[in-house]
């Protein structure tokens, strides 16, 4: 019999579900809750906010991260902003509209009830962060300022210059520190979770590696929450921080947690193009730049060829010879179409030969019009640090005048190209954010819950903080309420013993391969396979070829890897080898999911399924479900289990950003 997933969504109309849910949940007896321990793995915006909130509610929290401080979690990289339905601009925004935009932006593949809850708590997040002192940008009169992000026709993005993630993380960190000081949160920095420990079918603890001493340690608790981020680095080159990995999530998957929608990977349209094969990182230019920057390529192929040969510069091409292709194709949303749409449109132009740099894989992002209209000062106030970042990397300052044609000043444009950025897929969770393993919860980017097949800009921070501050602290209590009588499991139980031995054996195995190839050289090759066969444009044939190549490369990893050093002490190469082992599992999972989904939706684009205009063609009759995967052992194909989607408030239709 087919397995059926219970998403635990309460009955009733969508807007009422969350309210009813909160009203009916069982609250933990305050006497008991003080005895309950929760492990929170991760100190990004999701993890730090959850750990701080749980601590404040009286739980004993063990909080771990791989960095030397929670403040260095990858969330710090977030630039552009965070969405909320405050409607401060009086432009017709509402909870319903944010809910609708998010479901539509996700190409109707998100769980409707979850998205409604997300939109509803979005406003609380802004209040919470303002109370913490997060310095959001303000209007002259003192009101919080907003800007627009893709997929929305209202201004609902709150921001702190181009450093929103950093400022939000400092806010969450101050709450976390308060709980550390109060003795409710015990922080373990430079610790990496290597395995989850299951006792009698429930998550009861973890095995973590002290990254400085190399020692494995056991942690026991009544529940485990993972908030360990996404799997974008499977592709090697991405906008993610170098340390981002999916080891904790993949290990939970190996232990029985289902992995949902892995093929939904977001490719961000505005990244600095790849410039050589020695690169290990790509840099994002925030989507916020699309508020004032216009994206274009030349209309004439001879101009494109001259740009590629370096005999012409962008600013020498006059207005009438520029093709603002997003404005042309999507007049209603223009440069602010969602990321999947903008990325595909850039690829389409470059595939046709209109790319503007020496590799032919770049388009222009130009501020000439907005600087001429608003002045450089205003543009610098909005994007100053992004302009400086771009200059540091490329030696081109986008605010420099380069030419004047017919009295119009032309500034040096940025060059951008799509790159791997975010992963909508993740560990499957029910409405309470619990995985298929009782007692194991997943929050933030590492779960799959809210974005469907494509995430709208500025919605990741919203989801991470919604999960951490406002959802998990309520829902986890339903699980913990029954757990208080059991107490904590001692760490000398055989389940802990076995899990630790297995982790230790893996470390020994990797060190003993003693082959000839470094971790990075194999990872880079995996990245090439992922980008080539499982990237922006996928075909059944290409995906099968990609899977074959991944199997071969995994064999090379298992037989020809070289990891220097020992298990004892700091060994960064060994840590990276563990991550790469799990990127292999992840890469194959992405390909399996992409192969099984014979449609195009959001970030998943199967070239066989597109309209005549090159837009994604969904198949709602056959693929209107969450694809959940169950691990079946190394080298075996995982099993697909479907969670059917049910929409009652929103009419499922074809996305339209043209009018």
- Report the nearest approach of ligand FAD to the CB of residue 29 (Å): 30
Report the nearest approach of ligand FAD to the CB of residue 124 (Å): 16
User: In whole angstroms, how close is the CB of 219 to ligand FAD at the nearest point?
Assistant: 11
Applying CB under 6 A, among 7, 122, 155, 240 the residue interacting with ligand FAD is 240
Apex CA 634: angle with CA 630 and CA 635, to 5°?
100
Looking from the CA of 414 toward its CB, the CA atoms found within 13 Å total 31
Distance CA 65, CA 92 (A): 41
In the stretch 421-460, what mask flags binding to ligand FAD with x, by CB under 6 A?
xx---------------------xxx-----------xxx
CA distance 401 to 379: 14
Site for ligand FAD contains 77 (CB under 6 A): yes
Write each residue from 387 to 426 as x if it is in contact with ligand FAD (CB under 6 A), else as -, in one continuous string: ----------------------------------xx----
Distance CA 403, CA 367 (A): 13
250 vs 304 by CB, closer to ligand FAD: 250
CB 206 within 8 A of CB 197: yes
Nearer to ligand FAD, 452 or 464 (CB): 464
* Helix, strand and coil in the chain, % to nearest 5: 40, 20, 40
26 part of the active site: no
Q: Which of 1, 5, 6 is nearest to 641 (CA)?
A: 5
In order of 166, 307, 638, the CA distances from 171 in angstroms are 9, 45, 40
Residue 126 in the binding site for ligand FAD (CB under 6 A): no
Residue 210: both structure tokens together? 């002290």
CB of 14 or CB of 272, closer to ligand FAD: 272
Nearest C-alpha neighbor of 439 from the set 647, 164, 255, 168 = 255
Q: Out of 9, 244, 317, 561, which residue is the one contacting ligand FAD (CB under 6 A)?
A: 244
| Closest CB to ligand FAD: residue number | 44
**CB nearer ligand FAD, residue 193 or residue 476:** 193
Nearer to ligand FAD, 120 or 450 (CB): 450
Per CB under 6 A, which of residues 209..228 are in contact with ligand FAD? 227-228
CB 332 within 8 A of CB 346: no
Question: 458: which DSSP letter?
Answer: T
Please report whether residue 7 would count as binding ligand FAD according to CB under 6 A: no
Catalytically annotated residue among 339, 349, 455, 538: 339
Which stretches of 452-571 are DSSP H helices?
Answer: 460-465, 472-483, 494-512, 519-534, 540-560
CB of 161 to ligand FAD, least distance (A): 11
Using an 8 Å Cβ cutoff, are 649 and 13 in contact? yes
Which parts of 14-73 interact with ligand FAD (CB under 6 A)?
41-47, 64-67, 73
Pairing of strands 294-298, 363-366: antiparallel
Binders of ligand FAD among residues 454 to 493 (CB under 6 A) are 458-461, 464
CB 39 within 8 A of CB 252: no
Q: C-alpha angle 114/475/99, rounded to 5°?
A: 20
Q: Which stretch binds ligand FAD (CB under 6 A): 75-83, 306-314, 407-415, 605-613?
A: 75-83
Structure tokens at 498: 């076995």
Q: Which residues are catalytic?
A: 339
> Which residues contact ligand FAD by CB under 6 A?
41-47, 64-67, 73-75, 77-82, 164-165, 192-193, 227-229, 239-240, 244-245, 247-248, 284, 421-422, 444-446, 458-461, 464
């Amino acid at each position: 019999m087919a397995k059926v997933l219970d998403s635990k969504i309460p009955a009733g109309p969508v807007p009422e579900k969350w309210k009813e849910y909160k009203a009916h949940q069982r609250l933990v007896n305050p006497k008991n809750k003080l005895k309950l321990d929760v492990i929170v793995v991760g100190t990004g915006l999701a993890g730090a906010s959850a750990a701080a909130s749980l601590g404040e509610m009286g739980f004993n929290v063990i909080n771990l991260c791989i960095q030397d401080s929670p403040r260095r979690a990858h969330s710090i990289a977030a630039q552009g902003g965070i969405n909320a339905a405050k409607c401060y601009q009086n432009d017709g925004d509402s909870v319903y509209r944010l809910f609708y935009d998010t479901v539509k932006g996700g190409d109707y593949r998100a769980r409707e009830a979850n998205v409604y809850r997300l939109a509803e708590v979005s406003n609380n997040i802004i209040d919470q962060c303002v109370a913490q002192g997060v310095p959001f940008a303000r209007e002259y009169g003192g009101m919080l300022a907003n800007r627009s992000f893709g997929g929305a026709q209202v201004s609902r993005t709150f921001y702190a210059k181009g450093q929103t993630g950093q400022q939000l993380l400092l806010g969450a960190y101050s709450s976390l520190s308060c709980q550390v000081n109060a003795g409710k949160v015990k922080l373990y920095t430079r610790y990496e979770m290597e395995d989850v420990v299951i006792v009698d079918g429930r998550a009861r603890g973890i095995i973590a590696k002290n990254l400085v001493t190399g020692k494995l340690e056991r942690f026991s608790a009544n529940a485990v929450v993972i908030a360990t981020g996404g799997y974008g680095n499977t592709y090697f080159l991405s906008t993610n921080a170098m340390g981002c990995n999916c080891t904790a999530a993949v290990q939970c998957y190996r232990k029985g947690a289902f992995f949902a929608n892995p093929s939904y990977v977001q490719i961000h349209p505005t990244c600095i193009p790849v410039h050589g094969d020695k690169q290990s990182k790509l840099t994002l230019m925030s989507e916020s730049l699309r508020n004032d920057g216009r994206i274009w390529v030349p209309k004439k192929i001879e101009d494109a060829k001259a740009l590629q040969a370096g005999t012409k510069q962008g600013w020498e091409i006059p207005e009438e010879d520029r093709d603002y292709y997003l404005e042309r194709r999507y007049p209603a949303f223009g440069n602010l179409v969602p990321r999947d749409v903008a990325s595909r449109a850039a690829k389409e132009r470059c595939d046709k030969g209109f790319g503007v740099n020496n590799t032919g894989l770049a388009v222009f992002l130009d501020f000439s019009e907005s600087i001429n209209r608003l002045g450089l000062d205003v543009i610098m106030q909005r994007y100053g640090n992004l302009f400086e970042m771009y200059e540091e990397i490329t030696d081109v300052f986008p605010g420099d005048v380069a030419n004047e044609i017919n009295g119009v000043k032309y500034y040096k444009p940025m060059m951008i190209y799509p790159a791997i950025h975010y992963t909508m897929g993740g560990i499957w969770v029910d409405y309470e954010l619990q995985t298929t393993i009782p007692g194991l919860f997943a929050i933030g980017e590492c779960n799959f819950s809210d974005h469907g097949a494509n995430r709208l800009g500025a919605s990741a921070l919203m989801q991470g903080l919604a999960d951490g501050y406002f959802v998990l602290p309520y829902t986890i209590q339903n699980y913990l309420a029954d757990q208080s009588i059991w107490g904590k499991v001692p760490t000398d139980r055989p389940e802990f013993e076995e899990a630790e031995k297995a982790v230790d054996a893996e470390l020994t195995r990797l060190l003993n391969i003693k082959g000839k190839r470094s971790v990075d050289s194999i990872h880079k090759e995996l990245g090439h396979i992922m980008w080539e066969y499982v990237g922006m444009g996928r075909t059944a044939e290409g995906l099968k070829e990609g899977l074959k190549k991944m199997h071969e490369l995994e064999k090379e990893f298992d037989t020809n890897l070289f990891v220097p050093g020992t298990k004892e002490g700091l060994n960064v190469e060994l840590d990276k080898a563990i991550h790469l082992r799990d990127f292999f599992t992840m890469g194959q999972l992405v390909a399996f999911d992409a192969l099984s989904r014979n449609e195009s939706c959001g970030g998943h684009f199967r070239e066989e399924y597109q309209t005549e205009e090159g837009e994604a063609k969904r198949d709602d009759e056959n693929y209107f479900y969450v694809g959940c995967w169950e691990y079946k052992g190394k080298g075996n194909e995982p099993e697909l289990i479907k969670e059917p989607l049910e929409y009652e408030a929103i009419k499922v239709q074809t996305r339209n950003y043209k009018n």
